[in-house]
Amino acid sequence: MGNPKHTEVSVARQSPQRPDADEPELDDADAPAESGTASVSTEAARALWDELRIDPVEIALPAGTGYTLRAYRPARELTPTDVAERDQDDPFLARRQVTQEDEDDDDEAVVILDDDVAQEFAESDEEEAKGRRRDATDDEDADDKDEDEAGDEEVPVFLSHRGKLLLFRTPESLVSFVRSGAPNDLSQLDSWNELSERVEPADIAPLDEDVYELDLVVENLRGGHDSWDPTLLIEAGEVARDLAYALRLPAVLDMLSAGSSLDNLDEALRATVDGGVGGFFGRRRLKKIGAQTASLGWRTIVGKISAVVDWRD
């Protein structure tokens, strides 16, 4: 279980006490410089990730918490992860695969009895063929434009291999893997070799927005509308979409697609966070979303993501 990062802890204030006469007071210059050193180390690590455009990510699942890496690049620059082996090992996918028989096309014989009629058919066929070619050209131009736009869109890629997300229990094990030269989907990035040479365990310090607690989502939703944590649920939706795209999980993408019940939940939560009139209507929309339906949907999502995780200790 990941530690909840949205729980506030209040600490009681204590009255300041005078130092004992026998204990010498420390000047500021004599105070330990640990905080300053830690700050410099954090800034150096952040500079590394910003330069290489790769980020450490922490994900908590029911089976435990692990570290991985994520990057965003234009889709045209990435080769999707190969899921052929993963899908072959999935008994549910194998069960759904059915053998389809090829259907023979019935060719109709056309008998032409008159030369004038034959000429008319030929001219009609030629015009129809020209129309099809024009339509095909227009469709190709539209498809090329869509492909160009899709190719420019930045999409997520994780430290994964053959459709499996690689999660590491410790920063040390993650760094050891990066340095090992083992095959993975991030190795196609132009900054990967430099990362493998420079990264240290101390650099594996994800930002707060890169820490995701998927293990808490279902329980939070079961608690009812009044206990729902918008930040927790919104961030869970963001990483779930990223993982579904990068690991090629179409079922998860469908469950979170525009217009779905879980997408409506996400939009309503975002509205409540934004506040104002939109927040008021967002809260009203949340009341109409069934807690049981939402929790069951997210349990399915977390289960599908967990099924494609390769834990590395």
Confidence of residue 198 (pLDDT cuts 50, 70, 90): very high
Residue whose entry in the numeric block shows the structure tokens 């234009």? 74
Helices then strands, counting H and E runs in the chain, come out as: 12, 7
Verdict on whether the full-model pTM lies above 0.75: no
Quote the tokens at residue 27: 């000047």
What value does the mean pLDDT take over residues 115-121?
A: 59
| Separation CA 58–CA 75 (nearest Å) | 24
Three-class SS state of 276: helix
Which residue has better confidence, 278 or 256?
256
In a domain? residue 3: no
Q: pLDDT value at position 280? A: 61
Confidence of residue 208 (pLDDT cuts 50, 70, 90): very high
Q: How many structural domains comprise the chain?
A: 1
In a domain? residue 276: yes
Quote the tokens at residue 110: 């056309």
Q: pLDDT value at position 290? A: 85
| Separation CA 46–CA 15 (nearest Å) | 37
What value does the mean pLDDT take over residues 280-308?
A: 89
Name residues whose C-beta falls within 8 Å of residue 189's C-beta, 6 or more positions apart in sequence: 54, 71, 73, 157
In a domain? residue 39: no
In a domain? residue 114: no
What value does the mean pLDDT take over residues 60-82?
A: 97
Of 4-18, 85-99, 102-116, the poorest mean pLDDT is in 4-18
What value does the mean pLDDT take over residues 278-292?
A: 79
Name residues whose C-beta falls within 8 Å of residue 1's C-beta, 6 or more positions apart in sequence: 60, 65, 215, 216
In a domain? residue 68: yes
Q: pLDDT value at position 93? A: 53
What value does the mean pLDDT take over residues 144-156?
A: 74
In a domain? residue 294: yes
In a domain? residue 75: yes
Q: pLDDT value at position 2? A: 47
Domain with 293 in it: 46-91+154-312
Which residue has better confidence, 42 or 262?
262
